[in-house]
Amino acid sequence: MSDVRRISIFGATGSVGQATADVVLHNRKSFDVQVVTANSNVDALAELAVKLGAKYAVIGQEEHYKALQNVLLGTGIHVSAGAAALIEAATVPCDVVMAAIVGMAGLPPLMKSVEQGCCVAIANKEPLVAAGTHLMEAANASGAKILPVDSEHNAVFQVFDDQQKKTIERIILTASGGPFRERLEDELEDITPAQAVAHPNWSMGAKISVDSATLMNKALEVIEAHYLFDVPANQIDVVIHPQSLIHSMVEYCDGSILSQMGAPDMRTPIAYCLGWPSRMPTSGQKLSLNERISMEFYPADLQRFRALQMAYDCLDAGQERCGVFNAANEIAVQAFLEERIGFNDILRVNAYVLENCEKFSIKTLADVVNMDNTVRTFTSAYIDNIRQNSKKVYAS
C-alpha cells in the first residue's frame, strides 16, 4: 500500500461520516478521497465532496439526483443516485472504506465493499448484528480486513491478542448507561424524542442516541462483539461505566485486564481504523490526566436493562433472532422518533416481535434481507394495530 490511502466514506454526512471527514482533513496528505455518499442531504454531501476533493458523490434517494448534479456542475465530481449506485460505488478501488450508513440500509454497499478485499472500517453495526456470519465469511473469502469503528469494539480490537485468543477469558464492554441510567422504567413513559437523543457523553445520530437511551445500543453491541471477535455470548459482559473514558476491556486468564481509554470522541477510533496498523493524529479531544478524574464501574443489571437480556437470548437462539431483534428495533425507534409510540414501547415492541414473529431459515444473504423485510412489515403492522386499538401501553 502506498503512503497515500484511497478512501471512500459511506454515510459521509452523518455523525461518524463527518468525524471521518475531519480526520481525513487533519491528515490531508495521507488520503485520496474516492467516494462520498449520503441519503438525502444534497447540500451537505456536495459541500463535503468539494472539501474532500472526492471523485464520486452518490445520493441514496434518486429524486435528489438532479439537484446534486446541479450543485456539483463544473466541479468534475461524478454524480450518481439510487440504491444500485451505492452498491456500484463500493466497487471503486480503495484502500479503506468507512461504512457509516445507519441501519440495514447499509448492508448492500457494506457487503460489496467487503467482497472487494480492502480494509473495511465498520461503524454501521446493524448489518453486523443481522448478517454477522455472512459478513465475516465474506471477509475471510476476499481477504478484507474488518476494522471495528464502534468505540467499544475498537477498544477491544486494540487490546485483543489474536495469537493468545485461547487465554482470553472475556470481553468486557463498557456502557455509559445512557441519559436515563438512574431512572426507573415507569419514570420513562413520557420521555420525548428530544430528551432521548440528548446523550450525556457522546454526540451521535438520532437512531443510535435513542438506542443508547434504551440500552438497545449496548444490546446490539454484545451481538456485534460476538460476530467481530468470534467469542461466545457467555464470555461477553457489560459493565456500566458512566464516564465513558475506558472504552472496553479484554480479560486474560492470568487476571490481566487490558483496556483502551481516551476522551469520548469518535475521531480516536476512526483514526485508528483509517491509519491501521499505524496511528495518526486527530484534532479531537484528548483525555487529560493532569486533573483529578474518577471512574466508576458496576455490573449491568440484566433485569433492569431488559434490552441486554434480550440480546443474550437472541445470541443463544442464533443469528436469525439477532436479525429479527435488529429489524424490530429499527422500526420501533423510527415510530418513537415520529412520536407514534412512547419511549418504553420501544422495548415492548421488540419483546412482542421476538416472541411472536415467525422463525426464518436463513442460509444466504438474500434470506437475511427477506427476513429483515418481513419483520419490518410485521412490526409496523403490530404498531399500527395497537395504535388503532389505542391500547393504553402506547402514547397517544
Note the residues at the interface with ligand NAD (CB under 6 A): 11-17, 38-39, 41, 60, 100-102, 105, 123-126, 150, 202, 204-205, 208, 266
CB of 155 to ligand NAD, least distance (A): 12
CB of 88 to ligand NAD, least distance (A): 13
Distance CA 142, CA 148 (A): 17
Residue 101 interacts with, from Mg ion, ligand NAD, none (CB under 5-8 Å by kind): ligand NAD
Residue 208 interacts with, from Mg ion, ligand NAD, none (CB under 5-8 Å by kind): ligand NAD
Cell of 283: 484534532
Residue 60 interacts with, from ligand NAD, Mg ion, none (CB under 5-8 Å by kind): ligand NAD
Beta-sheet strand order (sheet of 257-261): 257-261, 246-252, 168-175, 236-240, 298-299
Q: Residue 6 or residue 153: which is nearer to Mg ion going by CB?
A: 153
Residue 205 interacts with, from Mg ion, ligand NAD, none (CB under 5-8 Å by kind): ligand NAD
Q: Among 150, 224, 251, 345, indicate the residue that binds Mg ion (CB under 5 A).
A: 150
CB of 197 to Mg ion, least distance (A): 15
Residue with cell 456536495: 46
CB of 383 to ligand NAD, least distance (A): 20
Residue 100 interacts with, from ligand NAD, Mg ion, none (CB under 5-8 Å by kind): ligand NAD
The stretch near Mg ion (CB under 5 A) out of 15-23, 102-110, 152-160, 171-179 is 152-160
Cell of 96: 479503506
CB of 37 to ligand NAD, least distance (A): 6
Binding site for Mg ion (CB under 5 A): 150-152
